[in-house]
Amino acid sequence: MRGGAIPLLVWGFILGLSMALVTIWNSGKPVIGFMGGFAVLITFLTALAFILLRPREAVRRGPPEPTGEPRAVPTASYGSVLFAVGGASLVYGLAFGHFLIYFGIGLMVVAVGVIIREKVFQRRALRRWRESPVTPGTGEGPAARRPEGD
């Protein structure tokens, strides 16, 4: 895990200056200040999230250091697709028919359950990998360690 707050802070600072200029020049236009403020706020909140998640690295200069933490990533996610289809169905239902809204909500609830199940499998897979015996060359077990981007 690395930092990443620096570009956001720099970008947000320059954006803040630019937005302040435009807002002051357009005095009396609350919508301009609101939108500019929103963009700057989003930028700084994201930077803050990075800093809070990894306090030291986030504002450290220089390249990222490698980490030894193993990660499990999914190859596919049915839950994510179901969630999107449910959300779209809900929105489409606003114009087309209320039954789609209920269908969409139901689908999204199911999708959350599927995603939780996928996450549980992910943890199990990681645990199994950690506990598995060293089998060089097979790509299984801790012996398969290698330099990795992230």
Q: Give the whole-angstrom CA distance, residue 59 versus residue 9.
A: 9
104 lies in the binding site for another protein (CB under 8 A): no
Q: Which residues contact 20 (CB under 8 A, 6 or more apart)?
A: 36
Q: What angle do CA 148, 79, 110 make, to 5 degrees?
A: 150
Site string for another protein, 58-97 (x = CB under 8 A): ----xxxxxxxxxxxxxxxxxxxx-xxx-xx--xx-xxx-
Q: Looking at residues 11 to 40 of the shown chain, list those that interact with another protein (rule: CB under 8 A).
A: 11, 14-15, 18-19, 21-22, 25-26, 29, 31-32, 35-36, 38-40
48 binds another protein (CB under 8 A): no
Q: Is residue 98 a contact point for another protein (CB under 8 A)?
A: no
Report how many residues bind another protein under the rule CB under 8 A: 78
Residue pair 107/99 in contact by the 8 Å Cβ criterion: no
Task: Please tell me whether residue 107 binds another protein under the rule CB under 8 A.
Answer: no
User: Are 6 and 56 a contacting pair, CB within 8 Å?
Assistant: no
